[in-house]
Amino acid sequence: MSNAYYETVTKMEKAGVDPEYVRGWEGGYLHSPKREEQRITDTYTAGYEDGLAQKTDGYSAWVKK
């Protein structure tokens, strides 16, 4: 696995990104199947889509304040 995965997850966690986004991003990045329908949130979906696109800088909107 590339360092980009670990570096991005570490950056998101240190920045205080919503854990739902992080879990979604991880799943998308690794091309894992999505969660079952009743557990999917907008935050998770945004992370999943960014992960699928290998986007490492789309998390700023999901930082918890």
pTM of the model: 0.92
**Every domain of the chain and the residues it spans:** 3-62
Q: How far is CA 14 from the centre of its chain?
A: 14
What phi and psi, each to the nearest 5 degrees, are found at residue 16? 85, 30
Q: Please give the Cα distance from 10 to 36 (Å, whole number).
A: 26
- Per the DSSP assignment, residues forming a β-bridge with 63 are 17
Q: For residue range 10-54, what is the model confidence (pLDDT) as tens digits?
A: 999 999 999 999 999 999 999 999 999 999 999 999 999 999 999
